[in-house]
Structure 1
Amino acid sequence: MKKWGWLVVVGAIILRLCIHAVMTSYGVFLEYFICKFPSSPVAFLESIGGIAYGISAMGAPISLALYRKYKTRRVVITGVFAASLGFALTGTVQSAGAIFVTYGILLGIGALLTNNTPLFLIAQYFKPENRYYVLATSLPVPSIAFALEPLIRGIGSHNAFAVLAVNAFIWGTLAALAMEENENDVPKNESGSEDVCEHKNTVFQATKENDKDMEEQVGDTDLGLIDSNKASTGNTESEKSPAPSKTLVVCTSVLIFLTLFLRGAVVHSLPFIMVKHLVQEFNITSFLAASTVTFFNVSDLCGRLTVAFIGDRLFKGHLVEMCVVCALLLGAGCLAARFAVQFYQMLIFNIGAGYTMGFISGTRYSTVAEALDHWYADDLYSVSRVGAGLGAIVGNLVAGALYDVTGSYRICFVVNLGFCLLVAMGFGTLMLLRDRFLRRTHLLHSEGTVESSLQKGNNENVTWTKKLHFELLSQFVQIRRKCREKSDEKIPLNDMDSKVKYHTDNNSSLE
């Protein structure tokens, strides 16, 4: 069945290529919408792209619920139909309000159902931390903006949207055929699966029954030794840190929402700002401006791949700290871009900003999970997705409003600098909350329960020996029980009479 998982990965890549990658290249369409609807505010036109992405991000819990109830294939086919209809109608409507519905809402719903749902299915075939997630979510994006510009210029926007609609419908339907559930595995999706919880409860009950049987078989002396070994080989997750308080969970959730809200405002407004800024102030062609977005996406992919392949060795356990550094670097880049006067300077900024954002985006789930040492990771991730989607909408609205007021996008880079500083402060506060109220509490608890400093220093080194001792002791108890059962069996009557007679004769001879 794992071979079929590769088809699921390929299908997810095709869906990203036909729908989500086109949606995230909205900066290419923005220039044509501005020319087509000159009376519409730029803030409103920019909000269309933000709404599409915001729906696909904030609706992640909805796609998860549909995936659990209707399975992947039905959900994906529905999303393909919605996205194809959105593309087709966008090329025919004649008002900005209609484009808001066809592109912003219909395409957003299509991207929601076709982008998130295949990722849940991939988890049935591969481990959640597998690198295939990075390939499925990032690989298709870089080439789209570069290809859309000559397509629109060559055949016109009306025909271009018709081609995109047909392409999304045909290839999306073929990709949906590959979305088959893995019946031999328990789903392990990022947003938490009920099947996993049921499986864990079953294992817990079975373990509890085995422990009860063992207690009946072992004496009081042996039970004391076994309980001490069970304590040393217990649940690793619970040993790392105690369950956080409700107050800490609520504070962390609010802080993650605000931090990811600001990060979403920076990430998804930057590509839109770049195209318009470069076209207007550097006097370059629209094709060359679109290529700069491609450089941004390619460098973003390189950052994601880098952190996916080496992140476990270098940054595991310190991802929140890494995000603080990346946010500060991105803020410094925005400040430098504010004073850029040549095209190559802005191109360098695009590459650096994309690579830095790749580090943050590639570790989004793991970073949120480390905020509370993997407690309530699925719930915190859902909160982060809602915050990021809402931030994308607000970020594009702010960028467009600033352009309407000032007539330039340079002020937007200064605003992004402020957002980046606030993002760094948010991640830093998460780190302080975790270390102060979660890990420190666990450290004090551990110091109070350790019997001696020597045992504390060698605890990790001898855990495997204690576990082996426990298994050997269990086998010994079972053997001893069998021996006792054999010794308690009744001796045959003939043998008993002969033995009694033999002892009687011996006693009489001695007298």
Structure 2
Amino acid sequence: MTEFVRRFGRHRRRKSPARNSSGRSEWHGWGIVVVLAAHLSIALLDGLLRGIGVFFLSWRDDFDSSAQATAAVSSILTSVYSFSVLLGGVMTKHCGCRTTGIFGGMLTSVGIFSSHWVKEIYQLYIAAAVLGVGQGVAFNAVTVAVAMHFKSQFKTAYAVAYAGGGVGGIAIPPLLQLLLEAYGWRGAMLVISAIAANLIGLSALCRPPRSERCLHAANTLEVQMRSSFDESVADGSNMRSEDHSVSDADFPEVGESGGERPANSTTDDFTEIDSIKTGSKSVKLTHPLRGFASAVGLDLFVKSYRFTLVCLSTIELGFASYGCSQFIIPRAESTGVAPSSTALLLSMYGVGLLVGRLGNGLLIVCRMSAETASGFCLSMAGVSLLLMNVDSYVSMALATFTQGLTSGAIYTIFIVQIRHYVGLEHFGVAVGLNCIFNGIGGLCGPLISGLLYDVTGSYKTIFYLLAGVYFAGALQTLFFPLLKRLEPGVENTEHR
């Protein structure tokens, strides 16, 4: 009987879920609330980002502007959103996830609310910039909040949270269309600003785990004790200099060895220490760029070569994914497909995006490394663009679904890789830098693809080029093992 209990207990321990350092499961308590809050926040952020094109015709007619000037609203929103994630990383590192997320939610709501009163198209550009800053800051805050609550199960947690982008991409655009038909675009903006204000409440739920709060309190107490100790030492030295009747023996000092201060030591030691402190301050002042580079995470590129390679792959991913999304419908219409049927292709893309972000958790079941999974997904994304050149509606539908499936999974996998390469302490800033490179690819992809069409007059050439970009990114993943041996590594002070 005892042998049966021992074997049964061993089996139960082997099947138990992943647990943190305190012995509790990570899928327990407030971590679930944080994942759900991040899921809904990303649904609002990505849904607004992808559904803003619903107002394109209304803006063009109301402001009597050209198509290029009207499309610039979406370009400004997308680029500022990508570039502002770095700002969110810096704020998260210094102010915490909850405060940063609330600030981002307020900016998002204010940016949409202010667009109700614009009279010129350039004023709408300013409102779009404010909206993009708020979205980027809020996105970084909820991403870091999930990383703080989940360590060994971060892949699954972030897949569930990031799947909100697919949900928002499917649900938000039809809602915006209904609001536009019911209230006009100005009235719709008022309603949307109230909906976006929910980001404030969702960000308020993203409190740090108890271990991080205790660590922050301990660090704060240490700083306060150190400052009070320095003040007491300064007061004691002033007392000795003013009152000569008090001897040094009444104030024994602790030396470097931990014992009392030697009798032959004089006040010159304090002068020497002060000079050392003054010298260290002067050295820091002579190198202000080093502190700036460390604050914005630029030193991560020389400490983690694998993170640098991920950022390079993100440029290629943004280049190809944003470039192809602009020409899916024109390519289908060029083959004689009806406009009503071409709209279904974008719906297939949204469904694939949702499945891809949720399906990232399947990689854990398959026990596939993140590097191998990213290379596989990049290869499949390249194959999907080759299918777009087949003059068949079925192949195009399959291609758009596969494109959404693979691109959604790749973005999630890249976040998991960044979390592993730079650690939790630098994670927020690293995500911001990675989103900047994604924004660079998103800006260059449509421009170069459009230029290629103007030169060749063929959509097939565009998809051949973008497929080659995907295949080049897949080949780059072969360098991850080599870079792991060469890189110096990032100092990880994560509290495990």
Structure 2: unaligned runs, 5 residues or longer: 1-26, 221-299, 489-496
Q: Give the corresponding residue for 2:440.
A: 390
Partner of residue 178 from structure 1, selected from 195, 201, 205: 205
Instruction: Give the partner amino acid of 1:300.
Output: L
Change (3 A) 1:14 1:125: same
Give the SS at the match of 2:96. Answer: helix
Q: What is the aligned-residue RMSD (CA, Å)? A: 4.2
Residue 327 of structure 1: how far off its partner (Å): 1.8
Residue deviations 1:301-360, cap 9 Å, x none?
21222221x3124244x3323322322221222122134353x43222111111122331
Change (3 A) 1:415 1:102: farther
Change (3 A) 1:7 1:306: closer
Q: What does 1:161-310 correspond to in 2, within 5 Å?
A: 161-169=189-197, 171-182=198-209, 184-186=210-212, 249=303, 252-275=306-329, 284-285=338-339, 291-308=344-361, 310=362
Change (3 A) 1:419 1:132: same
Residue 77 of structure 1: how far off its partner (Å): 2.8
Q: Give the corresponding residue for 2:89.
A: 64
Change (3 A) 1:252 1:6: closer
Distance 2:451 2:484 in 1: 37
Q: Is this contact kept in 2: 1:371–1:430, CA < 8 A?
A: no
Residue 263 of structure 1: how far off its partner (Å): 0.9
Distance 1:63 1:185 in 2: 23
Give the SS at the match of 2:153. Answer: coil
Change (3 A) 1:248 1:67: closer
Distance 1:2 1:375 in 2: 23
Give the SS at the match of 1:338. Answer: coil
Distance 1:31 1:65 in 2: 37
Distance 1:78 1:22 in 2: 18
Q: Is this contact kept in 1: 2:87–2:432, CA < 8 A?
A: no
Residue 117 of structure 1: how far off its partner (Å): 0.6
When structure 1 is superposed on structure 2, of 74-83 and 368-377 the one drifting more is 368-377
Distance 1:152 1:280 in 2: 30
Q: What does 1:140-179 correspond to in 2, within 5 Å?
A: 140-141=167-168, 142-169=170-197, 171-179=198-206
Distance 2:332 2:63 in 1: 21
Partner of residue 379 from structure 2, selected from 320, 328, 338: 328
Q: Give the corresponding residue for 1:363.
A: 413
Same amino acid, percent of matched pairs: 18
Instruction: Give the partner amino acid of 1:395.
Output: G
Distance 2:31 2:372 in 1: 34
Instruction: Give the partner amino acid of 2:366.
Output: L
Instruction: Give the partner amino acid of 1:314.
Output: C
Change (3 A) 1:248 1:358: same
Q: Give the corresponding residue for 2:35.
A: 9
Distance 1:362 1:71 in 2: 23
Partner of residue 98 from structure 1, selected from 119, 123, 127: 123
Residue deviations 1:33-68, cap 9 Å, x none?
5666775354x6555434433333333342133224
Q: Confirm or deny that 1:119 pairs with 2:143.
A: yes
Residue deviations 1:427-459, cap 9 Å, x none?
234455447x579xxxxxxxxxxxxxxxxxxxx
Q: Is this contact kept in 2: 1:58–1:389, CA < 8 A?
A: yes
Distance 1:107 1:407 in 2: 36
Residue deviations 1:92-118, cap 9 Å, x none?
535443333222x11211111222212
TM-score, L = length of structure 1: 0.62
Structure 1: unaligned runs, 5 residues or longer: 189-193, 200-245, 440-511
Q: Is this contact kept in 2: 1:320–1:431, CA < 8 A?
A: no
Residue 386 of structure 1: how far off its partner (Å): 2.6
Residue 364 of structure 1: how far off its partner (Å): 1.2
TM-score, L = length of structure 2: 0.63
Q: Is this contact kept in 2: 1:27–1:275, CA < 8 A?
A: no
Distance 1:160 1:280 in 2: 34
Residue 124 of structure 1: how far off its partner (Å): 4.0
Residue 264 of structure 1: how far off its partner (Å): 1.5
Q: Confirm or deny that 1:18 pairs with 2:70.
A: no
Partner of residue 110 from structure 1, selected from 123, 131, 134: 134
Distance 1:255 1:262 in 2: 11
Instruction: Give the partner amino acid of 1:143.
Output: A
Q: Confirm or deny that 1:132 pairs with 2:165.
A: no
Q: Give the corresponding residue for 2:273.
A: none
Q: Is this contact kept in 2: 1:319–1:367, CA < 8 A?
A: yes
Distance 2:95 2:49 in 1: 25
Change (3 A) 1:149 1:331: farther
Change (3 A) 1:406 1:168: farther
Change (3 A) 1:39 1:173: closer
Partner of residue 105 from structure 2, selected from 80, 96, 121: 80
Instruction: Give the partner amino acid of 1:304.
Output: R
When structure 1 is superposed on structure 2, of 150-159 and 333-342 the one drifting more is 150-159
